[in-house]
Amino acid sequence: MTEDLFIPLHAGDLQLANRIAMAPMARRRASDGGIPSEHAPLYYSQRSAAGLIISEGTAPCALGKGSLRMPAIFDESHVAGWRKVTDAVHARGGRIVVQLMHSGRVAHSSRMPDGQLPVAPSALRPAGQVMTAAGLKEYEVPRALELDEIPKVVEQYAHAARCAIAAGFDGVELHGASGFLPMQFLCSSTNKRTDAYGGSAINRARFTVEVLQALAAAIGAGRVGVKLSPENPHNDISDADPVETFGTLVSAINALGLAYLHVAVAANARADHLSLLRPLFKGPFFVGGGLTRDKAGALLAEGKADVAVFGVLFLANPDLPERFRRGSALNVPDDSTFYTVGPKGYIDYPFLADATA
């Protein structure tokens, strides 16, 4: 049970000292230019006891930077900024990958280069509102990517992966979840294309497969993971047949030899995607979403996952593995500071030693 969380693991080329990973979590503290904040090296290095840290969603190109104060990884200033983070994590013996997140339609023209419209597989506006510098605004109808633009977007991901390695990351995770660009291609509600990237499940999976192939070619498959979230409706997305869609995608990426597949369980999913997807992927299987120490220990002991991924618990407990080992009480996450600027709620959660002092 709990002991299983502390067995080291080789996931592709990534060497994990334990099976407790930190989930990717946007903290919206980067500069307007996408450089991680001055406190980011400390924030991440405080959490370096994780078997693997997965960074907050980070834009692989300017059109992918949809969220406010979201970091990026596609130019020299980003590489220099992230280098401080990776050095700090490595100095404490940790491992860190960057999550490559292209927002696609979940963005606003006011944040896009030259005021361009956000891009997407199809010109379909997400329901809801988006935070802009001028306050909340309705989402816009995005511009559908032309067929000949898609290879360029794929290449932007590969370029970002090379930048990630230059910045000292141990690898990259493709954000294929939560209604962002790869999932917009994958799901039937957001993809109405009639070319090779739309229609059947294998066509809708094509973009994600091609991005993963490009990432693997750029930095080696053993340094590339991917996160999926079947049935997660975040950012106004749904799929008519998620069992077929996600099964088709996972079967298609199985042969790539990736470092890992990360599945975030959606709270109200109708299907048991973990059991359905696990046999389709022969590599390390990371599972997250609402886990506790005991739930995670049981998943590992039953062979349902190889690594347990923790979001809010890691956010609030920099020494989460040690707390799990000792069965200690946990700090409570303060959601009022998840996305605020500055050190509060970021680098000031106490360690066990502080709590007992």
Ligand X SMILES: Cc1cc2nc3c(=O)[nH]c(=O)nc-3n(C[C@H](O)[C@H](O)[C@H](O)COP(=O)(O)O)c2cc1C
Whole-number Å distance between alpha carbons of 232 and 269: 7
- Using CB under 6 A, which of 34, 57, 71, 182 touches ligand X? 57
Contact between 338 and ligand X by CB under 6 A: the answer reads yes
Contact between 289 and ligand X by CB under 6 A: the answer reads yes
- Determine which helix (DSSP H) or strand (DSSP E) holds 119, and give its type and residue range: strand 119-120
Question: Alpha-carbon Rg of the chain, whole angstroms?
Answer: 19
Half-sphere exposure at residue 324, Cβ-oriented, CA atoms within 13 angstroms: 28
- Using CB under 6 A, which of 37, 40, 56, 78 touches ligand X? 56
- Using CB under 6 A, which of 25, 68, 117, 280 touches ligand X? 25
Whole-number Å distance between alpha carbons of 295 and 291: 6
What is the number of other CB atoms lying within 10 angstroms of the CB of residue 302?
10
Contact between 247 and ligand X by CB under 6 A: the answer reads no
Contact between 60 and ligand X by CB under 6 A: the answer reads no
Q: Which residues, 251 to 270, sit near ligand X by CB under 6 A? A: 264
Query: What residues pair up with 11 in beta bridges, in sequence order?
Result: 14
Query: What are residue 231's phi and psi, to 5 degrees?
Result: 65, 10
Contact between 324 and ligand X by CB under 6 A: the answer reads no
- Using CB under 6 A, which of 193, 227, 278, 293 touches ligand X? 227
Contacts with 353 (C-beta within 8 Å, 6 or more apart), sequence order: none
- Using CB under 6 A, which of 26, 40, 224, 250 touches ligand X? 26
Cβ proximity to ligand X: between 63 and 174 the closer is 174
Contact between 271 and ligand X by CB under 6 A: the answer reads no
Contact between 81 and ligand X by CB under 6 A: the answer reads no
Asked if 241 contacts 185 with a C-beta cutoff of 8 angstroms, the reply is no
Site string for ligand X, 178-217 (x = CB under 6 A): x---------------------------------------
Query: What are residue 205's phi and psi, to 5 degrees?
Result: -80, -15
Residues forming the site for ligand X (CB under 6 A): 23-26, 56-57, 99, 101, 175, 177-178, 227, 264, 288-291, 310-313, 338
